[in-house]
Amino acid sequence: MNSPLLLPILCYPDPRLHTVARPVKSVDDRIRQLIPQMLATMYEAHGIGLAATQVDVHERLIVIDVSETRDQPMVLINPVIEWASPETRKGEEGCLSVPGVYDGVERSLAVRVRALDGEGVQRTIEAEGMLAVCIQHEMDHLMGKVFVEYLSPLKRTRIKSKMVKAQREAMKE
Ligand code: NI
């Protein structure tokens, strides 16, 4: 954490990750400052998406970049899923709030989402593949849901103790 732009990311099972985010009231200076901070935090952590919930800001804002080149940032403010394909697929997911854990989650193959962009302009995004999965994963965060909650209670318990142990070890260092 050597850049002042970087924000600490909450780690599962931090109870704050279960906060339901409020809509962003207006895309003002505060939000315009937060966006580059969230993007820098996501890039630094080598993530493809980050929800405001994960940096302890409980407003409906997510940043995403699924490009190989890491230069196609997307900002979704107050996102609403207008349509989700009935066809689903189980794919492996990870999360910056659950480092080192990857597991299968069933998601719609494609979604159409309405959201404001970083300038406060209304956009409609048609997404499929990795982008569609990422949008659904990040929008879950805004509802206080972490992907491990789709897994079996047994797996979740194991992940929880693994995370608590890892956090305890990190604190010792
Ligand atoms: Ni996540």
Would you give per-residue pLDDT tens digits along the chain (173 residues)?
445 689 999 999 999 999 999 999 999 999 999 999 999 999 999 999 999 999 999 999 999 999 999 999 999 999 999 999 999 999 999 999 999 999 999 999 999 999 999 999 999 999 999 999 999 999 999 999 999 999 999 999 999 999 999 999 988 87
- Please tell me the distance between residue 87's alpha carbon and the centre of ligand 1 in angstroms: 22
Please tell me the distance from the alpha carbon of residue 42 to that of residue 29, in angstroms, as a whole number.
20
Question: How far is it, in rounded angstroms, from Cα 49 to Cα 150?
Answer: 18
Q: With contact defined as beta carbons under 8 Å apart, do 120 and 77 qualify?
A: yes
Cβ atoms of 41 and 87 closer than 8 Å: no
Alpha carbon distances (Å) from 110 to 3, 113, 127: 36, 10, 6
Distance 61 CA to ligand 1 centre (A): 13
The Å distance, Cα 157 to ligand 1 centre, comes to 18
CB 50 within 8 A of CB 137: no
